[in-house]
Amino acid sequence: MKPPLTELPIRVADSGFYRGFAKDVAVTAKVIVGALILWAIAFPEHAAAILGAFNAFILASFNYWYVYVTAFFFLLCVGLALLPASGRLKLGREGDRPEFSNFSWFSMMFGAGIGVGMLTFATAEPMYHFAKNPSTIMGLTEGSTAGNVREAYVWSFTHWGIAAWSAYAIVGLALAYFCYRRGLPLTIRSALTPLFGRAMSGPLGHAVDIFAVVATVLGVSQTLGFGSEQFVSGLWRIGVGDWLYTVAADGTKSTSAMGIVVSLAVIMGLSTLSALSGVGKGIKWLSNLNMVLSLFLLLFFVALGSTWFGLTTLFVGVFDYLASMPGNLFAVWVEDGTETGDALAAWQRGWTIFYWAWWIAFAPFVGLFLARISKGRTVREFVLGAIIIPAFMCFVWFAIVGGTAIDLELSGVAQGAIAEAGQADQLFAMLGVILNGPLAYLLSIVVVVLLLTFLVTTADSAVLIINTIAAAGDEGPKSRPHIVFWGTALALVVGGLIMAGGLGAIQMAMVIGALPFSLVMVLMGLALIKAIWRDSLRMRQGLVASEVVLTAAE
Mean pLDDT, rounded, for 515-527: 94
Better-predicted residue by pLDDT, 204 or 384: 204
Q: Measured in whole angstroms, how far is the alpha carbon of residue 192 from the centre of its chain?
A: 22
- pLDDT of 553 higher than 70: no
Q: What is the pLDDT of residues 209-258, one digit of tens each?
A: 999 998 888 888 888 888 888 888 889 888 888 888 887 777 677 788 88
- Collapse the DSSP code of 255 into the 3-class scheme (helix H, G, I; strand E, B; otherwise coil) and give the result: strand
- Collapse the DSSP code of 492 into the 3-class scheme (helix H, G, I; strand E, B; otherwise coil) and give the result: helix
**Whole-angstrom distance, CA of residue 258 vs CA of residue 8:** 47
- Classify residue 335 by its DSSP letter: -
Contact between 369 and 463 (Cβ < 8 Å):
no
pLDDT of residue 551: 44
pLDDT of residue 477: 53
pLDDT of residue 340: 93
State the DSSP H helix or E strand holding residue 245, giving kind and residue range, or none if neither: strand 245-247
Q: What is the pLDDT of residues 289-342, one digit of tens each?
A: 777 888 888 888 998 889 999 999 999 999 999 999 989 999 999 888 899 999
pLDDT of residue 282: 54
Helix and strand tally (H, E) in the chain?
Answer: 22, 2
Split at pLDDT 50, 70, 90, the class of 550 is very low
| Rg (alpha carbons) of the chain, rounded to whole number | 23
CA dihedral 40, 41, 42, 44 (to 10 degrees): 50
pLDDT of residue 139: 93
- Collapse the DSSP code of 329 into the 3-class scheme (helix H, G, I; strand E, B; otherwise coil) and give the result: helix
Mean pLDDT, rounded, for 128-154: 94
Sequence spans of domains, the chain = 23-414+452-540
- pLDDT of 377 higher than 80: yes
Burial classification of residue 50, based on how many CB atoms lie within 10 Å of its CB (0-12 exposed, 13-18 middle, 19 or more buried): middle
Q: What is the pLDDT of residues 400-414, one digit of tens each?
A: 999 999 999 999 998
The residues that bridge with 255 in the sheet, in sequence order, are 245
CB neighbourhood size of 327 (10 A): 8
**Whole-angstrom distance, CA of residue 159 vs CA of residue 133:** 13
Better-predicted residue by pLDDT, 448 or 454: 448
CA dihedral 233, 237, 243, 249 (to 10 degrees): 70
Least-confidence region, from 35-49, 221-235, 239-253, 461-475: 239-253
State the DSSP H helix or E strand holding residue 253, giving kind and residue range, or none if neither: strand 253-255
State the DSSP H helix or E strand holding residue 319, giving kind and residue range, or none if neither: helix 307-330
**Whole-angstrom distance, CA of residue 362 vs CA of residue 251:** 35
pLDDT of residue 476: 62
pLDDT more than 70, % of the chain: 92
Q: What is the pLDDT of residues 264-293, one digit of tens each?
A: 888 888 877 777 765 545 566 766 777 788
DSSP collapsed to 3 states, 398-425: HHHHHHHHHHHHHCCCCCCCCCCCCHHH
